[in-house]
Amino acid sequence: MIARLLMRLYVTAAAIAAVGALAYIYLQPPESMRRSADGVPYFSSRVSHPVTGEPLRLNDLAQHYKGARR
């Protein structure tokens, strides 16, 4: 009887902790989840290539001007 009660208490506490952690990360995401290493936001729109007009990822453009290795 006491073992079943303790197990339910443990499961309830673990579920509350998991939901609380997910809510915290969703409401206040850390800075590392907002931007890439180059400082580009993860959810950014594509930009137009000046010559060809094709869409480019903003991260590729930042790496090109930064001179990053690939």
For the stretch 26-70, pLDDT in tens is 898 887 778 877 778 888 888 888 788 889 888 888 887 887 565
In the prediction, which pLDDT does 42 show?
A: 80
In the prediction, which pLDDT does 8 show?
A: 97
User: 29 vs 21, 32, 49, 69, CA distance in Å?
Assistant: 11, 8, 31, 29
In the prediction, which pLDDT does 3 show?
A: 95
CB 58 within 8 A of CB 46: yes
In the prediction, which pLDDT does 66 show?
A: 80
Whole-structure pTM over 0.75, yes or no? no
In the chain, where are the structural domains located? 1-33, 35-70
